[in-house]
Each structure stands twice: as C-alpha cells, then as structure tokens.
Structure 1
C-alpha cells in the first residue's frame, strides 16, 4: 500500500480538514447545474469555476481537495454526446484543476505558513452507481448490481483519476454495502499502492440506506489496509454524534465525518428545501473531534466559511506534541 499520508497527517495535526460542497458553490458563481451531470457539468462549461472553488477551500483551511468527479463518469458524458476520448479527457481535467489549485495555493504560502499545516492532498471522488442514475438513488440504495458489475462500472474512471495524479480515492455517499465491498476489493487488486476512505450514505444513525447495519458495514473494513478511514457524509448534522459513537465501537480506523447542512434534497427538481440545522459549523465540529472524529469537513450546501470555522479551532490551538505552529494566517 502507498504511504499512509492520512494517518501521518492525523498523527502530526490530530485533525484533518476536508473541503465542503462543490456543486452549490458553483451554483452561486452562476452555473445552472440542474442536469443529469450535476456539478460535473462545470468541467465542460466553466472549469475555471471549479479551480476557483478549490482555491476558496484551501484558503479557508482545507487540507484535502476532493475532485469534482462525484457524478462524472465516461458513460454519463457519452450520454450527453461526448466521445469516449472526450469523456476521458474531461475526467482527467477535473483532477488537473484540483492539482493546479493546490499547487497555486501552496506556492503562495510563506515558509512559516507551510509549517503550520500539512501539505494538501487531492482526493479522487468516486460517487456511487446511484449518482450515475441521477435519480437520488445515492440516498436510497435502491439499485442492485453484482460485485463484478459494480467493479466494471467504477474501474475505468478510477484508472483515469489515478493516472491523472490523485493522492487518494474518496469513495463517498455509498448507500449500498455490496458496492462498498466491490470498491474495496477493486482498490486492493487494481490499485494496491493507493488508499481510500469510505463514507457511507445512511438512512439513520444505525443503518446504511440499503438497510445494512452501520456497525456491520464499518467493521467489515477493519482488515482492509488500503481503507484509511471510515465514516459518513451528506447526512444531517443531527445524526453525527450518534454515528461517531457507533463507529468508535466497531472500528480502529480514523473516523471521517462530512455532513450536509441539514436541508432536504429533491432529486426530481434538483433543489434544496428547509433550513440549515446549525449556526456555526465550528462549534458543532469541535464536539465531533472531541468524540472521536479525525477527518472533518462538509458536504452539500456547506461553504468555505464553514471550513474556516473548523480551522479556527483546529489550527488556532496547539494540537499534538507542541511542535506545530498555530495557524494565524488567511
């Protein structure tokens, strides 16, 4: 397996900051993403906006940029009229945008500023098969493929992301236990030198969307050395305390948490309703860390401001052995 960079970051800094939502930030900058490709539409129409959002999150304090490939895949682009070659180029382009943003940001820092934070990583986002269906299935898990079919669907884009230079994979919003098994097996056989985190899509604080018990799903991966962290994403912040407690009981791996704002998504209209369920992401995220989460960020409808609030406690306090400088910049 590749070097355990996530574990090294946690050992030195105690908490690793993820980024937040990409799609809703792109929307704020003027792109209509009410489309089957969702945020992946920006790779075609407005790639500069993707890089701009990545930079916004790095400046806010994020240690990891997640590529804008959650809903991007070759078949999806081809359905919209692009050739196979074009589709492969678009997948690669999404990684290059994240790497360019990372390099531009890192170059802008002083030597002292670089000592105060880990060197940022680029995580290749691999959304579930349900995201490709573009019908909200990532929140229901109501689809079923064989292990081999899941692997066949994911393999081509994983190869493209790896070849483009991602540091780790992010298997995210996975509602289907068999799909997570397929991804872990594929990682070990086709990408043995690369690690990944798995974050599940959950129906409640005890079950994946397909009905599998969360503790069963999480504990399954304890013996998979390539899986560097286990957790949940794109669920309500109100579920997070109980989820962390449940995960701590069954896994020794770092716990990764990045919920949405608590609003409700309608896959038909591709819009959000209700109000966010928190006032300050920094306040509640600090409790998640105290309770056992090591990788913390946000998902849909969260913002660079939310990540900055996490940074304010995660980097402005002396964490670890006292050798790290406090983050007082940006």
Structure 2
C-alpha cells in the first residue's frame, strides 16, 4: 500500500480522535427523500432521484450535516449499472449517475463547510448495496440469491460499479446490508483485484441478533471482512435496535477495528408493496435511549438507517456529547 493509501486508511481513525472516540453517521436517505416529496416506489428506489430530483439528495445531505452527522452515505445503495441500463440509460450515462451520487455528497459537504463557523471533519462514504438490493425483491433481507448466483457472479455484478464509485473520490466505500458470507468474500476479493485503495467498511444485517440474515455466522462474515486490507470499520446496519447490543458484543470478538452501527427504526419492510410496516418500530426517544449503551458496548460510529430522520441523528449527536 503506497503512502497515499496509507493516509486514506486513517480517515476513520482521525475522525474518531477528533471527536473523542465517537462519530455520527447520517440517517435514512430514502425516508427523507420521500418526506421532501420524492416518489421512490420504484425498482431503483432512492437512486431514481439521481436523475429525477438530484437537488433533493443534496438538500437531505445538508439536513443531516446540520443535524450533526460527520459521515454522509451517498445515494448509490440501489444505484447499479445494470439497473440503469434496464431503464434505457447507456453505459456512459449509467456510470455518470454513479459518479453523480458521490458528487452530490461532496457538494453538500462543501456548501456546509463554507457556512459552518467551526470547521470539522466530514467524510463521504460511497454506498454499495448488495446484489439483493438490485433485485428489488427484498432478498437483501434474506440473502437467498439462488444456487446460480455464485461468488464469480457477484464479483462480475459489482466490479465496474465499485471501480466507478472509488474513482469518483469518496473518503470511504460503504458495503451495506451485506446478507451472506459469499457477498462478503466477493467484496474483499474485488478490492484486491481492482487495486482499489479507498478504505472500506463492511455493514451486515441480521434478523435474529445472532447471524446475518441468510443464516451465515456473523462472526465468520466479520472475520472475512477483518482480513481485508482496506477494511477500516465493521458493523451492523438496517437491523432492529433490539438486536444491536448483542451484535456489537459478537463483533468485538472478531475485530479490533472500529465498530459501526446504524440500525433501522425497528419496522418491517414489505418488498411487494415497497412500504415499511409499523410493527416493533421505536420512537426517536426510544432509539436514542440505546445510544450510550451501544457506545459503552464498543460501537464508535453510530447513526441510523431506514425510517430514521435528521431528528434521530440530532438526538444521537446530543446523546454522545453527553446531552442525554
């Protein structure tokens, strides 16, 4: 790894040091896009906004920065070259939309820092959603891709997308909602094969508080991620808050790297209706009541996923500062 990559790999460490051992990730992007009037009931989900209303993406990023987030996750979770090609975009146009997701977050950071009286470090994490997210059938919540989707299939699916996002200049690559061991391995191998120097985090999802959603061992998946030279943080996203504490403990068994968590609100997703269903959802107050417990258990990067809002992130930031 050259000196530039070495410097890049320390961005999370530097951010945590600047904040006294913790940092705040942003919250649900799609949730806020809908709140601001975007129609995302679509196979492309929030990535539809990259061509339909990019100004709303920039606005939501700014809202999260104003709320106290130090890490912005780009609007590329469900943005794939294959998905854009299926909608009639060319290869070049599809790659441009991927770059646009990073550019919008970079622009939001620049706008915020120009008017922010107290300068602070803000990182941009380029989101790479799982293969299941592209399928738009909810299979990122099961990890069941069928017997014909192999390690090589997944590597070929993600390869060019990962290259384009890394070349766009984010501070981090965020592999999110990883549902199984095979996809974890695919990411690790791709980073090496493509000679990508951008540091990465790996975030898994769970529906039982023990394993990842496919049933694969969380500890085994975490160990695969931990072995990756680019990996600078490992953790959990889009998982109900009630499972997070035990999952953090499991993660501390397999890594010494920073642990990140950004749970959803606790509601359930209906992939057919493309809607979140209120079930065991928690309020912002309930959600935030867990924050210091999670931090004490070992999580240092904390934010929110689906159905969380700038109010959630504001409350998380206040809690970590000792205000709650």
TM-score by length of 2: 0.93
2:113 is aligned to: 106
* 1:307 Cα deviation from its structure 2 partner: 0.6
**Kept in 1: contact 2:207–2:213 (CA 8 A):** yes
**Kept in 2: contact 1:282–1:312 (CA 8 A):** no
2:298 is aligned to: 292
The match for 1:93 among 73, 92, 100 is 100
* 1:146 Cα deviation from its structure 2 partner: 2.3
SS at match of 2:94: helix
Distance in 2, Cα, partners of 1:248 & 1:107: 38
Please provide the CA RMSD for this pair. 1.4
* 1:278 Cα deviation from its structure 2 partner: 3.8
* 1:93 Cα deviation from its structure 2 partner: 1.1
**Kept in 2: contact 1:123–1:170 (CA 8 A):** yes
Cα deviation digits, residues 192-246 of structure 1 (max 9, x gap): 4211000012231111112111112112333323111111110100000111111
1:130 is aligned to: 132
* 1:263 Cα deviation from its structure 2 partner: 0.7
1:304 is aligned to: 310
1:79 is aligned to: 86
Pairing 1:311-326 to 2, within 5 Å after superposition: 311-315=317-321
2:213 is aligned to: 209
Structure 2 gap ranges (5+): none
Pairing 1:133-282 to 2, within 5 Å after superposition: 133-144=135-146, 145-275=149-279, 276-280=281-285, 281-282=287-288
* 1:47 Cα deviation from its structure 2 partner: 0.4
SS at match of 2:207: strand
1:36 is aligned to: 43
The match for 2:29 among 18, 22, 47 is 22
Q: How many residues align?
A: 312
**Kept in 1: contact 2:180–2:221 (CA 8 A):** no
Distance in 1, Cα, partners of 2:269 & 2:79: 19
Distance in 2, Cα, partners of 1:99 & 1:230: 23
SS at match of 2:290: helix
**Kept in 1: contact 2:34–2:40 (CA 8 A):** yes
SS at match of 1:179: helix
TM-score by length of 1: 0.91
2:289 is aligned to: 283
1:49 correspondence with 2:51: no
Distance in 1, Cα, partners of 2:124 & 2:254: 28
**Kept in 2: contact 1:139–1:209 (CA 8 A):** yes
**Kept in 1: contact 2:25–2:70 (CA 8 A):** yes
* 1:77 Cα deviation from its structure 2 partner: 0.8
1:7 is aligned to: 13
Cα deviation digits, residues 67-116 of structure 1 (max 9, x gap): 10000011101111112222111111111111000111011112xx22xx
Distance in 1, Cα, partners of 2:297 & 2:91: 46
Report the more deviating stretch, 81-90 or 172-181: 81-90
